[in-house]
Structure 1
Amino acid sequence: MPSEISQLVDELVAQMKSGSIAGYRRALSRLGESARAGGPASSTATVEALAPWLPGLAGDFAKTAVLAGACVEWGGSPMALADVLPRRAAEAMMLNDLVPGCWAEAAPGLPLPEQVSGSTRELVQALATLAGPEGRPDEEDMTRIAMSWFDMEDWLGALITVLGHARFRAAVPAEVKAELRTYAAAVADRSQRAAWVRDLAAVLDDEPLVVLHPPARRGYLLTMSGVGDNFQLHTLLADRLVGDADQGLVPGERPARSWVVAATDGDPYLGPGNPALRRFRLFDGHGAYVHPEGVPADIEPLDGTRVLVLHPPNGNYGMGVGRVFQDMIPTLGLDRVLAPDEAERWLTRVAPAVESDLMASRPGSRT
């Protein structure tokens, strides 16, 4: 570790142990400036030095996680955070979900304090009254619950940054991803970041995908990674599969190049004047409609494999954003066109489409 980074981290830790918020903020700023100026190596060293401290931090000191996320944006490796940040973010959401009920018990009839640091003392003092005289929850437990009302967004912001990296997602255990989805769903109604974490924790990587085109009795095997939502998947599928029918591809109108770039690694924002239009509707192997607003993990597997069946688009359904997660670069590879007999076996196994979606029979637009 560069000596300057080591010294600045030691100073940051000293300020946290002293409880000096002003000193902490100054030390955090100096560390951030040095990490950024030193390039990826210094950013990685900073992440590695901060990671062990994250589980014990709360309140204002959660800004340490924000700096760790910033270091990843500056080119640092996120891997040192894989064992600590997802678990700490899951805990923050779990505790945040408890706050309204605890407050209602501690201060019945009063509105919850604003989620700003100036309200910290009021909430901490109120929830401390719920601490048991012996055993758990004790005052420290209640303080940690109270602090989650103010620091959850910091943990989630950092986590969103690192979950965009495929290696990081692969390093997070499945049970931790499940916890993230569960706790994020519980607070997503009041936190957009929690909703994003819920979807990022469900991202599929190296996932086989069978796509069927009934009119031509054809099928395709693809592999997808890092696809953030189903509308993005629509665009990428059209780019990979629409083409010359004599070459075994799906006949139709190809997506505009700008749509594909927005769905892959370019500026994701297309705007209302150039929305990406879906080239087909998707149904799964059980006949259920695949909502564009959902995520690929929602696609119910058929005999262990996710299957999509292509149907005509029936109108213009558009999206002004090519992908939701700007820093997550997707891959969707066409591995092969299925042999006719293999495609036929899949086609005979899928259930008829239940065409009950709102866009099944009338044109519309969503931008």
Structure 2
Amino acid sequence: MQPLIFKRKRKASGFAAMVSEVEGAVAAREGDCTGRAFTAVMNGVQSASDAERVLAGPRLAALLPAFPVTGPRPMLATAAGFCVESGADPVACAEPILGSVHQDLRDALEFARCWTTDGAAEDELPEPDEKIIDDALLARLGGDVYEATRLAPAWCSVDEWQPPALAVLCRSAEVRRRHASAMLPACRDLAALERHDLKCLAYALAVPDDEPLVVLHRPTGTGYEIRIGGIGDNFQLHTLLAHVLVGGGYVPGTTPSAQSVRLATDPEPAQGRTQTIAAGVFELLAPDGERIWNEGLPDDIPVVEGRRLLVLDEPSYQRSWNADRFFPHLPGTAELARVLSADETRTWFARTSPGNRIRRPS
């Protein structure tokens, strides 16, 4: 789930002047001045007004490329992300924030490569803790001290980039279209090393936007094209498919409750966790018959002939879950684009495994 980056405080401040101070110090490459101005900004962002944060967000984000590589860049990005939470333009803030995140993901992967290349075969990758950064570590990573002091902090701090990254990713489909596909492989590769918890970032980078989904309902032998967007996981997708197909009268089943649909789609996030329960209506299957888990993502649905292809069957057992969506600030959409003709439906079913074929004629 996506928490607030800072707790809000209401106190007037000359925050714009603080931002100007840190901009000047960074431009002048004055380390001591940058440190003092940065500290003032980090203290001031919490007491600034929303109007001040709206203006400051893009300015703070723009500082990231020039900010000292060994400095607390994730904290600066977090301040910019907090401004986005207060209404600053996510598109204006996204490129420097996500560019920095992407670079640190790559640097963390390079750290892992250097560690395993230069270390003993039985050595495990270290935990991402700055305590590991010492002269012995820097020597192990190679002779280039600057390179080592860049890679090691990336390994240790990459988790800290998630809140500012989520702030921009969860508030703009345009941001996701521009940046997500390029970043997702590095995020997944790093997560696969099992030293960083990057689940929220990986899920946000995999969110579909205005994507066509071919859905085949095996019990009735019918097919549909549904456009989906903003869906954080398959629990949310399951609810919305039931809303569109069962609620629309296209397939039999129990219609999801109005509250569970509202929680999946409402532009306004729920205020805290609710007790609303959603019930499973379908078995979600890949074209080869493998189960698509509710705990997974729409991105898990295989692409066949240029379209994600999902087969729905009767549920093998009754299941239910909390209806709150994975990303509170990201409303999901699922709209029926069209009902497939009988010929189209047969063609799509023919692209699935025999066990997924039509159970009875449409």
TM category (shorter chain) comes to 0.7 to 0.9
Could you say which residue in structure 2 is the equivalent of 1:343?
345
CA offsets, 1:130-172, max 9 Å, x none? 3655xxxx10111112212432122222112212121101121
1:51–1:80 CA contact under 8 A, matched in 2: no
For residue 227 of structure 2, give the secondary structure of its aligned residue in structure 1. strand
- Is residue 239 of structure 2 the alignment partner of residue 235 of structure 1? yes
- Is residue 149 of structure 2 the alignment partner of residue 172 of structure 1? no
Could you say which residue in structure 2 is the equivalent of 1:65?
77
1:85–1:159 CA contact under 8 A, matched in 2: yes
Distance 1:228 1:244 in 2: 23
Mapping for residues 1-367 of structure 1, pairs under 5 Å: 4=17, 7-10=20-23, 13=26, 17-19=30-32, 23-29=36-42, 32-33=45-46, 36-39=49-52, 41-47=54-60, 49-53=62-66, 57-97=69-109, 115=129, 119=131, 123-130=133-140, 132-133=142-143, 138-164=144-170, 165-172=172-179, 174=181, 176-187=182-193, 189-192=194-197, 194-243=198-247, 245=249, 249-265=250-266, 266-267=269-270, 269-271=273-275, 274-353=276-355
Tell me the C-alpha RMSD between the 2 structures: 3.4
C-alpha spacing 1:101/1:27, structure 2 compared with 1 (3 Å): same
Deviation at 1:342, TM superposition (A): 3.0
Distance 1:37 1:244 in 2: 42
Deviates more, 1:320-329 or 1:261-270: 261-270
Structure 1: gaps spanning 5 or more residues:
356-367
2:234–2:297 CA contact under 8 A, matched in 1: yes
Deviation at 1:16, TM superposition (A): 7.5
Give % identity: 31
1:12–1:27 CA contact under 8 A, matched in 2: no
Deviation at 1:223, TM superposition (A): 0.4
Structure 2: gaps spanning 5 or more residues:
1-14, 358-362
Deviation at 1:59, TM superposition (A): 4.5
Distance 2:234 2:175 in 1: 22
Distance 1:95 1:258 in 2: 44
Distance 1:63 1:156 in 2: 11
Distance 2:97 2:159 in 1: 13
CA offsets, 1:77-126, max 9 Å, x none? 1223443333322332343345577678689999957726xx3xx61433
C-alpha spacing 1:47/1:168, structure 2 compared with 1 (3 Å): farther
2:278–2:320 CA contact under 8 A, matched in 1: yes
1:47–1:78 CA contact under 8 A, matched in 2: no
1:228–1:324 CA contact under 8 A, matched in 2: yes
Distance 2:127 2:217 in 1: 55
Question: 1:126 is matched by which residue type in structure 2?
Answer: A
For residue 286 of structure 1, give the secondary structure of its aligned residue in structure 2. coil
Distance 2:45 2:164 in 1: 14
2:60–2:76 CA contact under 8 A, matched in 1: no
C-alpha spacing 1:5/1:219, structure 2 compared with 1 (3 Å): farther
Distance 1:344 1:99 in 2: 50
For residue 192 of structure 2, give the secondary structure of its aligned residue in structure 1. helix
The total of aligned residue pairs comes to 337
Question: 1:150 is matched by which residue type in structure 2?
Answer: C
CA offsets, 1:322-360, max 9 Å, x none? 3212222221111122233433333344323479xxxxx
C-alpha spacing 1:19/1:126, structure 2 compared with 1 (3 Å): farther
C-alpha spacing 1:9/1:292, structure 2 compared with 1 (3 Å): same
